[in-house]
Chain A
Amino acid sequence: NAGVTQTPKFQVLKTGQSMTLQCAQDMNHEYMSWYRQDPGMGLRLIHYSVGAGITDQGEVPNGYNVSRSTTEDFPLRLLSAAPSQTSVYFCASSDRDLVHYGYTFGSGTRLTVV
Chain B
Amino acid sequence: RKEVEQDPGPFNVPEGATVAFNCTYSNSASQSFFWYRQDCRKEPKLLMSVYSSGNEDGRFTAQLNRASQYISLLIRDSKLSDSATYLCVARGTSGYALNFGKGTSLLVTP
- A residues sitting closer than 8 Å to B (CB atoms) are 31, 33, 35, 40-45, 48, 50, 56, 58, 90, 98-108
In the complex, 21 of the A-B residue pairs with CB atoms within 8 angstroms, ordered by the A residue number, are A31-B96, A33-B97, A42-B87, A42-B103, A43-B44, A45-B92, A45-B97, A45-B99, A56-B94, A98-B32, A98-B91, A98-B96, A99-B32, A100-B49, A102-B32, A102-B36, A102-B49, A102-B98, A105-B43, A107-B43, A108-B43
Q: Which of B32, B42, B99, B103 contacts A107 (CB 8 A)?
A: B42
- B residues sitting closer than 8 Å to A (CB atoms) are 2, 31-32, 34, 36, 42-46, 49, 87, 89, 91-92, 94-103
Judge whether B97 and A41 touch: CB under 8 Å.
no
Cβ of B46 to closest chain A Cβ, rounded Å: 5
Chain B residues near A31: list those with CB within 8 A. Answer: 96
Task: State in angstroms the CA–CA spacing of A42 and B3 once bound together.
Answer: 12
